[in-house]
Amino acid sequence: MNSMTTDAPTTGIFRLNMPPSLVSIAISRSAVRRVVTFRDADTESSFLVALTEIVANAIDEHARGGHGRPIVLEVRFGADDLVRVIDTGDGFSDQIAASVKPDHVSGDPEERGRGLALARALVPTIEFETSGAGSTVTLPVAGFGIVR
Amino acid sequence: MSESSGRLDLEIFVRGDLDNPRAEMRVIGEFDRLQVARFDRAGAALSETLQHLTVDLRKTTIIDSAALGSLIRLRHGLDRVGCRLEVVVSTPFQITVMKVGGLYDFLNVVVEPD
């Protein structure tokens, strides 16, 4: 007789292709809420605002680049629980990602860079990678909750 | 875990007298780039005779950079009519957003328990 296991997988990847439009902000937040159990409401807000800023940045870059390729939301669980936003557009430059600093003061409502500064402050372990193929932003879930 | 409705509810209360017109705008829910147009319209509709406006963000679960931009536009608009703006927050997340945005003093942020 064959024995079968019904144990849930201990590692895995979940990927979602999202359109490069504002609706992807709501889609990404909803998807992450469904797979991540947050420690509390405050950590949930912090993580989701950081995610919002990263997805919004990807949407803006796609709009500037004038192409309609999808933005990929990737959730990994297992050894490291993390959320990734993979953007095949122009992405942000390393200089922009490195230069945004918390506590930057400006009264300019449209100031570019405030969103990335916010993301970096709310999720200090955030990682930015840029290559010729686009950019990847990794948001580790550790400290905020667990992927379930 | 909370399940968000994805809505921004605006409640606007006006109080005071003719000598000292004050208003309070209470923002509840997700205050983000999907919703800032509603907030901008509500701010623009406020009377130009106001002398003091309080924006209460204590019930917000999301405040993104677009929302901060909207608050900055509101502050600039109120400056033109001589109205003082005060923004009320309560949670660590809300306080962090205001500090990182560099807007703590610009928006006259006040921390009050919810």
Phi, psi at residue A90, to the nearest 5°?
-70, -25
Inter-chain contact A115–B65, Cβ cutoff 8 Å?
yes
Q: Is the pTM of this model over 0.90?
A: no
Q: So what's the pLDDT on residue B4?
A: 42
Identify whether the C-beta of residue A94 lies closer than 8 Å to the C-beta of residue A142.
no
Residue B3 belongs to a domain: no
CB hemisphere CA count around B111 (13 angstroms): 12
Residue B68: its chain A contacts at CB < 8 A? 109, 114, 118
Q: What whole-number distance in Å separates Cα of residue A121 and Cα of residue A104?
A: 11
Residue B66 belongs to a domain: yes
- pLDDT tens, residue by residue, B46-88: 878 889 999 999 999 999 999 999 999 999 999 999 999 999 9
Structure tokens at A105: 């003061």
Read off the amino acid at residue A131: S
CATH of the domain at A142: 3.30.565.10
Identify whether the C-beta of residue B42 lies closer than 8 Å to the C-beta of residue B75.
no
Contacting residues for A54 by C-beta, under 8 A, at least 6 apart = A85, A116, A119, A137, A139
Residue B34: its chain A contacts at CB < 8 A? 22, 25-26
Q: What whole-number distance in Å separates Cα of residue A57 and Cα of residue A85?
A: 10
Contacting residues for A108 by C-beta, under 8 A, at least 6 apart = B72
Residue B43 belongs to a domain: yes
Structure tokens at B70: 């909207």
Q: What whole-number distance in Å separates Cα of residue B31 and Cα of residue B50?
A: 23
Residue B1: its chain A contacts at CB < 8 A? 33, 36-38, 44
* B53: containing domain: 8-111
Residue B1 belongs to a domain: no
Length of chain A (residues): 148
Inter-chain contact B92–A42, Cβ cutoff 8 Å?
yes
Q: How many domains does chain B have?
A: 1
Residue A5 belongs to a domain: no
Residue B96: its chain A contacts at CB < 8 A? 46, 121-122
Identify whether the C-beta of residue B81 lies closer than 8 Å to the C-beta of residue B75.
no
Residue A3 belongs to a domain: no
**What is chain A's pLDDT, residue by residue, as a tens digit (148 residues)?**
455 556 666 788 999 999 999 999 999 999 999 999 999 999 999 999 999 999 999 998 877 776 778 999 999 998 889 999 998 766 555 555 555 444 444 555 555 678 999 999 999 999 999 877 788 999 999 999 999 8
ipTM: 0.86
Residue B94 belongs to a domain: yes
CATH of the domain at B77: 3.30.750.24
Q: What whole-number distance in Å separates Cα of residue B65 and Cα of residue A141?
A: 21
Query: Hey, is the C-beta of B2 within 8 angstroms of any chain A C-beta?
Result: yes
Residue A9 belongs to a domain: no
Identify whether the C-beta of residue B55 lies closer than 8 Å to the C-beta of residue A47.
no
Query: For residue A48, what are the CA distances in angstroms to A34, A83, B113?
Result: 12, 11, 23
- pLDDT tens, residue by residue, A5-22: 566 667 889 999 999 999
CB pairs under 8 A between A and B: 96
Residue B97 belongs to a domain: yes
Inter-chain contact A25–B69, Cβ cutoff 8 Å?
no
Query: Hey, is the C-beta of B1 within 8 angstroms of any chain A C-beta?
Result: yes
Phi, psi at residue B3, to the nearest 5°?
-105, 110
Residue A143 belongs to a domain: yes
Q: How far out from the chain centre does Cα B69 lie? A: 11
Q: How many domains does chain A have?
A: 1
In 3D, which of B35, B22, B100, B24 has the Cα closest to residue B61? B35
Tokens 């017109």 identify what position? B21
Residue B95: its chain A contacts at CB < 8 A? none
Identify whether the C-beta of residue B33 lies closer than 8 Å to the C-beta of residue A56.
yes
- pLDDT tens, residue by residue, A26-45: 999 999 999 999 999 999 99
Residue A116 belongs to a domain: yes
Read off the amino acid at residue B6: G
Structure tokens at A110: 């449209």
Residue A2 belongs to a domain: no
The partner residue sitting opposite B1, judged by closest CB among A26, A33, A106, is: A33
* A20: containing domain: 14-147
